[in-house]
């Protein structure tokens, strides 16, 4: 199981990259970017995974010691990083959607090949 999940996450990254590079429709490019962000967040969470690990919450009532928790729990730092990254992605998505709507108002189309006033 070990390496296969990382390879799959990398595959999702490549799918997202394909969406950004090869698609002509602006909405599809945005979805490709979302998939790319998703794949990187997935890799970040996978880095913290520990097989048969528990949630990183100290069970004070049950008398768990901090050292025990550190030895058995999943790493919480990537989870915190992923939350930040998801929120950054949220802001970007909102900005992208707003820009796509305004682009449609200006150009009348979502086709990248026809949104091409800037050349050279």
Partner 1 sequence: MVPLLVGLPLGVAFCVVAMAHVKALSRLIAPLAIGIVLVNLVMALSLLGAGDVHVFVGEWGPGGTLGIELVCDGLSKLMAVTINLVALASLIFAGAYMRRFTKVWLFQALFLLMTGAMNGVVLAGDLFNLFVFLEVAAIASYALVAFGCESEELEAAFKYLVLGSVGSAFILLGVTILYSLTGQLNMAKVAAMLPKGPAVLLAAAALIGGLSLKAAMVPFHAWLPDAHPSAPAPISAMLSGVLIKASGVYAVARIVFNVLGPSSQYATILIALGVVSMVLGMLLALGQDDLKRLLAYSSISQAGYIVLSLGVAAQLMVGPRPDRVLAGLCLFGGLFHLFNHATFKSLLFLSSGSIEQQVGTRQLKEMGGLGRRMPVTGFCCRIGALSIAGVPPFNGFFSKLIIIIALAMAGGVFPAAYVLCAVAAAVAVGTLLMYVKVQRYVLEGEPSERVAGASEAPALMRVALVILAVICMTAGLAMVPLRECLFGPAADALLGTAAKAAMGVMP
Residues 15-74 interacting with partner 1 (rule: CB under 8 A): 16-17, 20, 26, 29, 33, 36-37, 39-40, 43-44, 47
Structure tokens that stand for 79 in this block: 């989870």
Q: How far is CA 105 from the centre of its chain?
A: 29
Please identify, using beta-carbon distances, which residue of 58 and 77 lies nearer to partner 1: 77
Alpha-carbon Rg for the chain in angstroms: 20
For 63: left if phi > 0, alpha if psi spans -120 to 50, otherwise beta; the answer is left
Q: Which parts of this chain interact with partner 1 (CB under 8 A)?
A: 13, 16-17, 20, 26, 29, 33, 36-37, 39-40, 43-44, 47, 77-78, 81, 84-85, 88, 91-92, 95-96, 99-100, 102-103, 106-107, 115-118, 120
């Amino acid at each position: 199981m070990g390496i296969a999940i990382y390879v799959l996450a990398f595959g999702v990254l490549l799918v997202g990259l394909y969406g950004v590079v090869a698609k002509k429709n602006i909405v599809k490019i945005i979805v490709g970017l979302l998939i790319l962000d998703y794949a990187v967040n997935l890799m970040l969470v996978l880095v913290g995974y520990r097989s048969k690990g528990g949630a990183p919450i100290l069970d004070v009532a049950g008398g768990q010691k901090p050292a025990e928790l550190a030895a058995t729990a999943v790493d919480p730092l990537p989870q915190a990083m992923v939350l930040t990254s998801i929120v950054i992605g949220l802001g970007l998505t909102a900005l992208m959607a707003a820009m796509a709507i305004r682009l449609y108002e200006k150009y009348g189309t979502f086709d990248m090949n026809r949104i091409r006033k800037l050349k050279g």
